[in-house]
Amino acid sequence: MRFGERLVKATAAHGPLCVGIDPHPGLLDAWGLPRDASGLERFALTCVEAFGGHVAVVKPQAAFFEAYGSRGVAVLERVVADLRGSGTLVLVDAKRGDIGSTMAAYAQAYLADGSPLAGDAVTLSPYLGFGSLDPALDAARASGRGVFVLALTSNPEGSPVQRATGPDGRSVAQSIVDQAAVRNAGADPLGDVGLVVGATVGELDADLSDLHGPVLAPGFGAQGATVADLRRVFGEDLRGVLPASSRDVLRHGPDSASLRSAARAVGDSLGL
């Protein structure tokens, strides 16, 4: 089954919340874990126990694993495998983007069957040009996976770049939306090329109505965005929008039952 179809099924069963696994060093401290690969492993596997099979999508943030070298990457591989085994969709947040020929290697790592880092989808950065992502988009299509391309990010530094106007009068963000929409054309109910639009971005000034793809909306919780902000950004119809939260849920650890009920409470607060 294609990624878009699996996502629709997963959100129908569990609601649209995407929970992030972001093992910040400060969170390891707060959970009473050492700042090393063993602490990382305990943290990550507790998250797997808490969320696996209980939320639609889990998003491990690759940088926090890479920080511990090969042992950290091995933990990420285990997280990907265990979550997929539990039936939860895994969005590996690696924000990859490179010239096309190198992009093919990233696509092999994150989007090909048999690769230990390949979850169900990966985040991509389009700032070497949307077309440079083609090898990843092709690989995702071939293996039934998905991608989430940064369009309007949640950080304030993104805005001058992403809202800049190109020679054709469209904003950079709108041209990313439009190119993703071309890839999703004809997909029903949801295509496999998603976008990232921060819940904190305020006025959207981009038209998502032809996207036919999912939208990851990070910034919910710790970065200050609320349910009202989600509605301000996306309007009343939040179909296809996946609000994402990491620290606001993870601060309820290390008890896995408390983490799970925090995720449920945040999910319920969305009223979706």
Ligand X SMILES: O=C(O)c1cc(=O)[nH]c(=O)n1[C@@H]1O[C@H](COP(=O)(O)O)[C@@H](O)[C@H]1O
Point out the residues that are catalytic: 95
Residue with smaller CB distance to ligand X, 30 or 142:
30
Residues in contact with 122: Cβ distance below 8 Å, sequence separation at least 6, in sequence order: 91, 92, 93, 94, 96, 110, 111, 136, 145, 147, 148
In the three-class reduction of DSSP (H, G, I as helix; E, B as strand; rest coil), residue 187 is classed as coil
In the three-class reduction of DSSP (H, G, I as helix; E, B as strand; rest coil), residue 242 is classed as strand
Residues in the chain: 272
Min CB(271)–ligand X separation in Å:
19
Residues in contact with 224: Cβ distance below 8 Å, sequence separation at least 6, in sequence order: 200
Applying CB under 6 A, among 46, 88, 184, 246 the residue interacting with ligand X is: 246
Residue with smaller CB distance to ligand X, 162 or 186:
162
Applying CB under 6 A, among 46, 154, 174, 184 the residue interacting with ligand X is: 154
Which of the 8 DSSP states describes residue 5? H
Partners of 20 in the β-ladder: 59
- The residue among 179, 109, 169 whose CA lies nearest residue 139 is 109
Q: Which stretch binds ligand X (CB under 6 A): 3-11, 67-75, 102-110, 216-224?
A: 216-224
Specify the long-range contacts of residues 162-167, CB closer than 8 Å, at least 24 apart. Answer: 163/205
Applying CB under 6 A, among 4, 52, 146, 219 the residue interacting with ligand X is: 219
**In this structure, is the dihedral angle defined by the CA atoms of residues 134, 8, 20 and 171, taken in order, positive or negative?**
positive
Q: Which two tokens stand for residue 18?
A: 């995407």
For ligand X, the binding residues in 83-102 under the rule CB under 6 A are: 93, 95
Min CB(244)–ligand X separation in Å:
6
Min CB(175)–ligand X separation in Å:
18
Residues in contact with 38: Cβ distance below 8 Å, sequence separation at least 6, in sequence order: none
For ligand X, the binding residues in 107-136 under the rule CB under 6 A are: 123
Provide the CA 238 distance to its chain's centre, in angstroms: 16
Q: Which stretch binds ligand X (CB under 6 A): 37-45, 103-111, 128-136, 238-246?
A: 238-246
Q: Which stretch binds ligand X (CB under 6 A): 74-82, 138-146, 187-195, 220-228?
A: 220-228
- The residue among 203, 192, 270 whose CA lies nearest residue 235 is 203
Q: Which stretch binds ligand X (CB under 6 A): 41-49, 114-122, 162-170, 218-226?
A: 218-226
Residue with smaller CB distance to ligand X, 190 or 195:
195
Residue with smaller CB distance to ligand X, 52 or 158:
158
Residues at the interface with ligand X (CB under 6 A): 20, 22, 61, 93, 95, 123, 153-154, 196, 198, 218-219, 221-223, 244-248
